[in-house]
Structure 1
Amino acid sequence: MFLARVRTDDDQVVLAAQVTPDTLLRLDALGVVGDDPVAVLREWGAEPLAEKVRQAVAGGGAEGAVLPVGAVRFESPVPRPQKIICVALNYLAHAEEGDQAVPEEPVIFFKPPSSLVGHGATVHCPSRSQRLDYEVELAVVIGSTARDVPAEQWQRVVLGYTVLNDVTARDLQLVAIDKNQPWDHSKGFDTFAPCGPYLVTADEVADPMTLDLTLTVGDEVRQRSNTRHMVFGIPELIEVISHGITLEPGDIIATGTPSGIGPVPHGEVMTATVEGVGTLANPVVYDRQLAPVAG
């Protein structure tokens, strides 16, 4: 299933399932309570919920509950993660373009949940920065409480997938790197974790390690790769991250970005796509309306 949290014309946030590329079905009209897809999937299960949607569509029970995609505003599909765990330098070419050594084990950092926004939301570069960069990533959504998960059992804790853009104030990050300081501040500003449009249940993705990723700015393709080029795959990431850290339902693991990073000018739209998971588009506004430095 492709599940979205959307804000309707009357300013309600509702949970909806994609029934065609252009239409969504409100699940509250089917008696499904709540707007959090993580909680709803844990209560119902992906297949029973999908069957309920199929029966409603086939039997005419969806009348009046259909929403055109173009008539809603997308919220982050995961509303309340306890943590957003990001993986740095997890594609060889990306490490090389940043003149960074390829890590011998996963390097992680955290974004605050307050950085999340949905598909279509404006990303704001704060006035203290003059260079905002995009980073397309496949994100894993955790579905159960787990710790010390062996790599071979990774699938039991994965609820689904989404697209995440690890937006970065690159000029501030480079200063932090030069001073041997953490990157979290340059990665954690409000709106710096666009996510969505959908939470895609795990059964919809046959192999998350063979997915194409692209990112465009305007009409120009800036990033293009495949998840098979990760240095550390999802099984190993889950094993390492959960070693001593409890994963909770709704936690997000952003699995790293490929090469091709660069700045986004004021007023441009960055569009991140992960094959079979979705396309996430967000316009960029510089709070000082300065053109970012070349890079």
Structure 2
Amino acid sequence: MKIIAVGMNYARHNQELGHAIVNKEPVIFMKPDSAILKDGKPFFVPDFSEEVHYETEVVVRICRLGKNIAPRFAHRYYDAVTVGIDFTARDLQRKFREAGNPWELCKGFDNSAAIGAFVPLEQAGGDVQNLDFRLTIDNKEVQHGNTSDMLFRVDDIIAYVSRFMTLKIGDLLFTGTPAGVGPVSIGQHLQGYLGEDKLLDFHIR
């Protein structure tokens, strides 16, 4: 199982981080399977970062083996969705970017990919490009987005990625985060919603 993630897929998030470049193709990065955090287990703030940010995303689960998938057929390759958190060591990311180095370590560290309970796409509304999602911290809403605002649609992302690597059953696609990212701190309670369904619920330790 691999975790495929899309960076800079919401315009307002790009603005809040100061990204002025308009990408013509999806920005793809990977997380190892050791990044998965699930079943409501707590996230422990790592000792190598002073600024870990939450990034709330819709996560799509791949259900078929596929390579060189045409966009018009991409919808056949996923069957379930959830809410996830792409944890980012923002201070390390800035350091790596300034040096012109790869920044996998700030994204792919252990437990940096929190995922909630998956639900069938039909239960979530049926249209992957019209999913409302949000994150609360200590019962206060901090992020709210809709997949209709994506710069690159899910089907186009799947088609693009499958040109380079074979998609396998159980692979996860983190589809990008809207505006409103921010730091986490010990003791906080994070809850992620898809529509009105709470799918993600855990604490920061």
TM-score range, shorter chain: over 0.9
Aligned pairs for 1:152-231 (under 5 A) are 152-197=72-117, 199-204=118-123, 205-231=125-151
TM-aligned CA deviation for residue 219 of structure 1: 2.5
Aligned pairs for 1:105-184 (under 5 A) are 105-184=25-104
> Amino acid of the residue matched to residue 89 of structure 1?
M
Distance in 2 (CA, whole Å) between partners of 1:110 and 1:272 is 22
SS of the aligned residue for 1:156 comes to: helix
Distance in 2 (CA, whole Å) between partners of 1:104 and 1:184 is 22
Contact kept? 1:115, 1:193, Cα under 8 Å = yes
Q: Which residue is 2:7 aligned to?
A: 88
Contact kept? 1:119, 1:194, Cα under 8 Å = no
- What TM-score comes out, normalization by structure 1 length? 0.66
Q: Which residue is 1:19 aligned to?
A: none
Contact kept? 1:89, 1:102, Cα under 8 Å = no
Relative to its length, the structure with more helix (as a share) is 1
Name the larger-Rg structure. 1
TM-aligned CA deviation for residue 277 of structure 1: 6.1
Distance in 1 (CA, whole Å) between partners of 2:188 and 2:26 is 32
Distance in 1 (CA, whole Å) between partners of 2:190 and 2:159 is 32
The alignment covers a number of residue pairs equal to 203
SS of the aligned residue for 1:144 comes to: coil
SS of the aligned residue for 2:129 comes to: helix
Unaligned runs of 5+ in 1: 1-81, 286-295
> Amino acid of the residue matched to residue 109 of structure 2?
F
Q: Which moved more, 1:209-218 or 1:142-151?
A: 209-218
Q: Does 1:254 align with 2:178?
A: no
- What TM-score comes out, normalization by structure 2 length? 0.93
Cα RMSD after superposing both structures: 1.4
Contact kept? 1:134, 1:270, Cα under 8 Å = no
Unaligned runs of 5+ in 2: none
Kindly, what percent of the aligned residue pairs are identical? 34
Q: Which residue is 1:68 aligned to?
A: none
Distance in 1 (CA, whole Å) between partners of 2:197 and 2:191 is 13
Distance in 2 (CA, whole Å) between partners of 1:223 and 1:202 is 22
TM-aligned CA deviation for residue 221 of structure 1: 1.6
